Amino acid sequence: MNINFYFQMLFSMLFITACSESSPIDTSHDQVETSLDTNKDTTQQNDEQISESTETENLENLVLMNGDTNAYQALYTQYVDKEQGEFLSFALIMANKYNYTQAYFDCYFSLFEVNCMECTNDELNKWSLENLDAVTRTMALDYLKKAADLGHDQALDILKIYKDENKYL
């Protein structure tokens, strides 16, 4: 037999095999569509993250540069789900630079919260500062007192608890 015959046979077998296996082609088409959908979803998620990141950066700038109290409140809600203490720097600036009442309380609360991660419910209910070192406790109390001096209701309530229990003051 000549070599042309073998090539014709080989070509015919490949052609028949390729024609009879249509599902891999369909599957790959489905996979391409799925891949495109996944890429579209990922792109949309990335765009949302960039948008949130940009919004957060804008709020941070308004707080840091202008002392914008509305931006501060919006930024606070964005930081609720983040690690404890991450918001403290913004609270410190708003309290110290812009004399914002809520920020004084937030400084106290951030210091309390970061240092009371393993507090019992009783310690939390009594706003215990036992887990704070002396320097941090003094700092937290100073911010709490300043918030109370400016009329912050919750700060006044906590100071009353401390006075009633004859603690920290």
Note the pLDDT tens digit of each residue in 151-160. Answer: 999 999 999 9
Query: What is the number of structural domains in the chain?
Result: 2
Torsion of CA 91, 45, 54, 79, to 10 degrees: 0
- Name which residue leads in pLDDT, 125 or 155: 155
Residue 76: inside a domain, yes or no? yes
Question: Do 94 and 165 fall within a single domain?
Answer: yes
Structure tokens at 83: 């690690």
CA 106 vs CA 15, 39, 100, 112: distances in Å? 74, 41, 10, 10
Residue 111: inside a domain, yes or no? yes
Q: Which domain holds residue 50?
A: 36-81
95: alpha, beta or left? (left if phi > 0; alpha if psi -120 to 50): alpha
Question: Of 53, 81, 109, which residue constitutes the final position of a domain?
Answer: 81
Contact 91, 110 (CB under 8 A): yes
Mean pLDDT of the chain: 77
Q: Please give the model's pTM, rounded to 2 decimal places.
A: 0.67
